Structure 1
Amino acid sequence: MPALPRGTQYVEPSPSQQRLGAKLADMIPGAVAVRVSLAHPSRQWPHPYTVAVDGRGEQLMLSGNTTKVAARWVLRSWPEVDWTRPHSLDLATGQLAVTSGRGR
């Protein structure tokens, strides 16, 4: 099952961005994708936030530190992206795509 829906517009990853996907997959066992946004559920101001999902699309539990670190790595790897909207990173391909919803 692909982590990103077919027909989704995405940013073509560079080799370093593809490596980031592999590093995050090692850091978050079982994750196939991460959704990154600046809309932390318990904060009213912009704050880096990550939700990891497994192959069934179910959310994986992450520590607060892992949530923040993963989000910062992704945000810094794609500085040109409009981060006012949440994005999903496919960990297998390194493809970044806009996510519908608020990314929570």
Structure 2
Amino acid sequence: MPAIQSGTPACPDSAARQRRLALQLADMIPGAATIRVSLRDPQVVWPHPHARVWDAEGQPIELSRTRATVAARWIVRVWPDADWTRPHTLDLASAVLTRSNSVSARRGR
């Protein structure tokens, strides 16, 4: 049976996906304002998705390893074109992903 073309792309508008993910992460991690994502978990030698979270005042929010990995994987999947050799920070209020600067990356932020 031939496939039917619907004319609708499989992936809707990427900006809408990014906003939706930011809302889902804010629901999943109450109080979270920013999430820093990298493929370098400090507890693992090989590349592994890792996330650290801060609230609006800049205080860290502790996550379980599973929740940190899930959040990092979701972010990497929604922004596949980002240069993931460097850490990135997602602002949940604006759904904007920016590359983390090297100074904050060295401090673990």
TM-score when normalising by structure 1: 0.84
Greater Rg, structure 1 or structure 2? 2
* Residues 103 and 81 (structure 1), Cα distance of their counterparts in 2 relative to 1, 3 Å cut: farther
In structure 2, distance between residues paired with 1:73 and 1:67: 10
The residue correspondences of 1:53-92 to structure 2 (distance < 5 A) are 53-92=54-93
Unaligned runs of 5+ in 2: 1-13
Structure 1 consecutive aligned stretches of length 4 or more whose deviation exceeds 6 Å = none
State the alpha-carbon separation in 1 of the partners of residues 49 and 17 from structure 2.
21
Q: How many residue pairs get matched?
A: 92
Q: Which structure shows the bigger proportion of residues in helix conformation? A: 2
Superposed, 1:1-104 pairs within 5 Å as 14-100=15-101, 101-102=105-106, 104=108
Gapped regions of structure 1 (runs ≥ 5): 1-12
SS of the residue aligned with 2:30? coil
Identity %: 48
CA RMSD of aligned residues (A): 1.3
